[in-house]
Each structure stands twice: as structure tokens, then as C-alpha cells.
Amino acid sequence: MTVHILDDKNSLLNKFISEIRDVNVQKDSMRFRRNIERIGEILAYEISQSLDYQNKVITTSLGTKIVPVPKNDIVLCSILRAGLPLHTGLLNYFDDAENAFISAYRKHINETEFEIKVEYFASPSLEGKTLILADPMLATGQSIVSVYEGLKNHGTPKKIILACVIGSTEAIELIKKHFPSTTELWIATVDTKLNDKGYIVPGLGDAGDLAFGEKL
């Protein structure tokens, strides 16, 4: 698996990451959602450099120009509900992608142990396509692995790209074992710790709650 960590170099991305982590800025849920969306847009731009291109002849009012354009058939797949703002950002740039939505949640057995429940699946065929699997918080990695297992019934993608905002080193090690070695991970930033509830530390807290409000 190739891992691309985007905050390795200084860019405006770091400002957006700082704001989604900051407890004072997080109170503004619209800014939180929009910052995740902006990070999705940056991820999309970076990911676009690894796609396949074909030349297209474009006619302007004054002549013609050959322009290389991406030729991949993209399926953009997100995990409900925290994934929605990231999905919007990616879709803003990959505007002709097909879309898949899957629900996954942590069903707690006790305070610290949980299993991943995958229930709702809406996906087109993935056969021969480029699957971009988006998950804002790659904490334990168990959700994205469970979702990928479910997607295997929908055909074999030609290329798999994982798009994430914050990840843990533990999750990256787990997904390396479960995804094909040709998979690319594009991630804004990586933290080294998880707490005993499986949350990324320092992370940002619960991305779904920060974007959409607390749930029961």
C-alpha cells in the first residue's frame, strides 16, 4: 500500500486541519462541516495526480487544444453519517463520479469493546472501476475494513483509493493487511495514539457529532 500523508509539507491544508481540531472553532458546526469539505477538495486534487489520463481535443472559439483529462470511472463510497461532508468535498471535484453509501456504526459490547455493524448498502457495480473509499476518521480501521468486505459482492475495482482526514498509525497497519497491496491511502494527517474507547488522540473528538449534533 502506498501512503500519502498530506500535512508533511506546509500548505493551507494545515489551517483547515487546525480548525477542525480546535475546541473553540469546533463550536461552529457549519465551519466544521465546511472545513472537512475543503479538506475533501484538497484530497481530491492530490488524488487526481494518481489517476489515468487520456488526451481530449477541445474546441475553443479560436482553435483547438489537446488537453489530458482523467479517464477513470470513479465510484465514490462514503460511510454514513460522519462521511457526508468529506463526500461532498470529494464530489465537488470528482463531479461525474458514481456514488455509494454504506452505514456502519460501533455496537458497544461494554465501555471499551465494540463490534462494527454494517447495515445499509447502496452501491453501483464496482467492476473495473476506481473505488474511492472515504472515511474521515481512520481510528481503529475496523469500519473501513468491514465496509470493504461488504463491497466485495459488488464487483472487483481496477483501483482502490482510500481518502481520509485523520488516521492512527494502528489503523494504517490494520488496513495494510486487509486491502490489496496496490491500494493507495491519501490522508491529511496521522496521530499516533488511540484511547481505550478507540478514539484518536489528540484527534478531534466525534466527527459525526461535531458535524451533525450529538446522538443518543
Residues that bind ligand URA (CB under 6 A): 82, 137, 139, 199-200, 203, 206-208
Peptide linkage before 34 cis (omega within 30 of 0): no
Distance CA 74, CA 92 (A): 13
Residues 109, 115 contacting (CB under 8 angstroms): yes
- Based on CB atoms, which residue is closest to ligand URA, 83 or 157? 83
Query: Smallest gap, in angstroms, from Cβ of residue 208 to ligand URA?
Result: 6
Please state the closest distance from residue 152 (CB atom) to ligand URA, in A. Answer: 23
Give the nearest residue (CB) to ligand URA.
Answer: 139
Closest approach of ligand URA to the CB of residue 163, in Å = 16
Nearest to ligand URA of 130, 142 (CB atom): 142
At its nearest, how many Å lie between ligand URA and the CB of residue 136? 7
Residue number with CB closer to ligand URA (101 or 199): 199
| 208-to-25, 64, 137, 139, 185 alpha-carbon distances in Å | 16, 47, 10, 13, 21
Residue among 75 and 104 whose Cβ is closer to ligand URA: 104
Alpha-carbon distance of 46 to 26, in angstroms, equals 26
39 and 90 Cβ atoms separated by less than 8 Å = no
